[in-house]
Amino acid sequence: MTPSPDAIIVGAGIVGAACAYELAGAGARVEVIDGGITGGGATAAGMGHLVVLDDNEAELALTKLSVGLWHLLAKELPRAAEFWTCGTLWIAADGEELAAAKAKYEVYRRNGLAAELLDEKQLYEAEPNLRAGLAGGLLAKQDAAVYAPVATRFLLERAKAKVTRAVVTDLDDLKAGAVVCATGALAGELVPGLRVRPRKGHLAITDRYPGFVRHQLVELGYLRSAHGESSESVAFNVQPRPTGQLLIGSSRQYEVETPILGRMLERAFEYMPGLRACSVIRTWTGFRASTPDKLPMIGRLRGNIYLATGHEGLGVTTSLGTAKILAAEILGRPSPIPAGPYRVERFDD
Amino acid sequence: MIKIRCDGREIVVADGTSVAAALLGAGVARFRSSVAGESRGPVCGMGVCMECRVTIDGEAHRLACQTLCREGMEVKTT
């Protein structure tokens, strides 16, 4: 009989793969179990936008740490991972949003992040296909994009992790030094009562239009959509792929199934009228793992069982930072950033 | 008969000819290039396979097999 592994990770998405990579790098023998395709859940459904967000200190700390880690990993990623430092161009529609862009710029500056404020003219020079009448923007230069399913497979290969195709119904059945539940929006199935809700999102991808969009474009109102609690919302969010294809998002829905794809596309056309003439070749949906405070749950649940879920729309971005924090806790080492804001017990009554 | 231009070259066809038929008749085999740079051209001829996309009068990704030639049309392969 083979001995129990040091760690079993349930969930072969980007978060599980990053945890496997980090633990294996520390010398642990790691196994991964997933009932589906490797990187086939929210990992494949999302845009793979690697973005620093500053809605609160904990979010900024984790996204900044993680985007930095992605840049370090980038040199090793296979070409098929399509890592690309496209930057994020936050678009200010009016004076109020431009003031928000300036505030954001100051936060980036204070945190040593490369950023540039654009006035109206500079915005059109950067992105000529945006509609007229926008106020300006903020270019976050360190942000990037990655094709996450390939990055997931890369991390698992590097971890030399055995990946078993099986459905786990009870975490207590698994025998290992540490058991990590990284099943995203499905985590509640294994941990009853967990404060993680599936939050549906839609994406569309177009045919190839090289040069039509040059940066990841996000309206500043996106944060209201992402961090708000409304049952559904849409925001302009477009990413150019290295092939010239355009990913168009984004939508957020809790427990409702009203048609939202059309609304999402109309929002994109409002900002970029020329998109209307582009052919969409595929649309799909996925489920984000959403927590009440929009921060992930990283750390011990009970005994030898740990959680790494609740990443909402930031799972690809924060996977690498999550793995550092979780591995530090499992191995009893210091965390690279204060882990308190992500602890599971913050939701205990 | 009507005249179109493909990549600068004049092609004369009967009215009612599709762009795909016009190009094939003129010996054009490469309608577009795949991401990897491979040659692509019409496969199904009925608007399903999406392989015959060309730029027509400046508009990218038009289906050659589903578009009828019009006098003065400018077609570009990619």
**What are A57-75's pLDDT values in tens digits?**
999 999 999 999 999 999 9
> B50, A281: Cβ pair inside 8 Å?
yes
- pLDDT score at A39: 96
Residues A71-77: contacts with CB under 8 Å, at least 24 apart: A71/A142, A71/A144, A73/A320, A74/A144, A76/A154, A77/A146, A77/A150, A77/A151, A77/A154
A263/A302 same-domain check: no
Q: Answer whether B59 touches A (CB < 8 Å).
A: yes
Phi, psi of A217 (to 5 degrees): -105, 125
Q: Answer whether B32 touches A (CB < 8 Å).
A: no
- pLDDT score at A2: 66
Nearest Cα residue in chain A from B63: A279
Please report residues of B whose CB lies closer than 8 A to that of A208.
35, 60-61
A187/A201 same-domain check: no
A303/A168 same-domain check: yes
- Chain A closest-CA separation from residue B4 CA (Å): 23
Residue A321 lies in a domain: yes
What CATH number does the domain containing A313 carry? Answer: 3.50.50.60
Q: What is the ipTM of this complex?
A: 0.74
Could you read off the pLDDT of A271-309 as tens digits, one per residue? 999 999 999 999 999 999 999 999 999 999 999 999 999
Question: A221 falls in which pLDDT band (50, 70, 90)?
Answer: confident
Cis peptide before A66 (omega within 30 of 0): no
Beta bridge partners of A115: A140
A124/A263 same-domain check: yes
A339/A304 same-domain check: yes
A231/A311 same-domain check: no
Phi, psi of A61 (to 5 degrees): -60, -45
Residue A22 lies in a domain: yes
Mean pLDDT calculated for residue range A200-225: 92
A273/A209 same-domain check: yes
Residue A80 lies in a domain: no
Residue A1 lies in a domain: no
Question: Which run of H or of E encompasses A206?
Answer: strand A197-208
Structural domain range at position A243: 85-142+197-290
Percentage, residues of chain A above pLDDT 90: 93
How far is residue A38 from each of residues A154, A164, A323, B54, measured CA to CA in Å? 11, 10, 17, 36
Mean pLDDT calculated for residue range B25-32: 96
Could you read off the pLDDT of B29-44 as tens digits, one per residue? 999 999 889 999 999 9
* Residue A1, pLDDT above cutoff 60: no
Question: A338 falls in which pLDDT band (50, 70, 90)?
Answer: very high
Could you read off the pLDDT of A110-149 as tens digits, one per residue? 999 999 999 999 999 999 999 999 999 999 999 999 999 9
What CATH number does the domain containing A224 carry? Answer: 3.30.9.10
CA A233 vs. chain centroid, Å, equals 18
- Token pair 């006035």: residue: A119
A210/A318 same-domain check: no
Please report residues of A whose CB lies closer than 8 A to that of B34.
none
- Token pair 């001829």: residue: B45
Query: A19 with A327: CB under 8 angstroms?
Result: yes
> A207, B35: Cβ pair inside 8 Å?
no
* Residue A330, pLDDT above cutoff 90: yes
Q: How far apart are the first and last CA of chain B?
A: 26
> B61, A277: Cβ pair inside 8 Å?
no
A224/A190 same-domain check: no
Mean pLDDT calculated for residue range A45-62: 97
The domains located in chain B, with CATH, are 2-76 (3.10.20.440)
* Residue B4, pLDDT above cutoff 60: yes
A227/A323 same-domain check: no
Nearest Cα residue in chain A from B51: A207
Please report residues of B whose CB lies closer than 8 A to that of A207.
53, 60-61
Please report residues of B whose CB lies closer than 8 A to that of A275.
none
Mean pLDDT score of chain A, rounded to an integer? 95
Percentage, residues of chain B above pLDDT 90: 95
- pLDDT score at B62: 94
Q: Answer whether A207 touches B (CB < 8 Å).
A: yes
| Cβ-based neighbour number of residue A273 at 10 Å | 13
How many separate domains does chain A show? 2
Could you read off the pLDDT of A149-188 as tens digits, one per residue? 999 999 999 999 999 999 999 999 999 999 999 999 999 9
